[in-house]
Amino acid sequence: MIKFKTVNHDKDHMHLHLTIPPTIAVGKVVGIIKQNTSRELKQKFSFIRQVYWGTEAVWSEGYFVSTVGVDEAVIIAYIENQGKKDAGQTKFEIG
């Protein structure tokens, strides 16, 4: 059974915190989620069929996965804060 623990999004991507059985490959789970949500989105928002004409795909092919070898609390905090304004903790200078 796939269990969604935390879900959040930004403007152009989503973050999911899941538990999956060890008998199912991560890539298979990603495919199932993308396939099912794509179908539901197209049923609910019919204009999507015109936007993505010539393909059944709504989602991009890529995905990123990290297993909880990293501290689970860090992953949860990252997902929950997705899309919030940067608090200024990271300062980058270009040039």
CA distance 85 to 95: 23
CA nearest neighbour of 35 among 64, 7, 56: 56
In a domain, 91, yes or no: no
In a domain, 21, yes or no: yes
In a domain, 92, yes or no: no
- Is the model's pLDDT at 95 over the cut of 60? no
In a domain, 40, yes or no: yes
Model confidence over 64-82: pLDDT tens digits? Answer: 887 766 677 777 777 787 7
Model confidence over 3-30: pLDDT tens digits? Answer: 998 888 888 788 888 888 889 999 999 9
What pLDDT is recorded for position 29?
Answer: 92
| 3-state SS assignment for residue 35 | helix
- Report the domain count for the chain: 1
In a domain, 48, yes or no: yes
- Is the model's pLDDT at 92 over the cut of 70? no
Cβ 4 vs Cβ 76: under 8 Å: no
The domain in which residue 71 lies consists of: 3-80
Give me the residue label for tokens 């989503």.
14
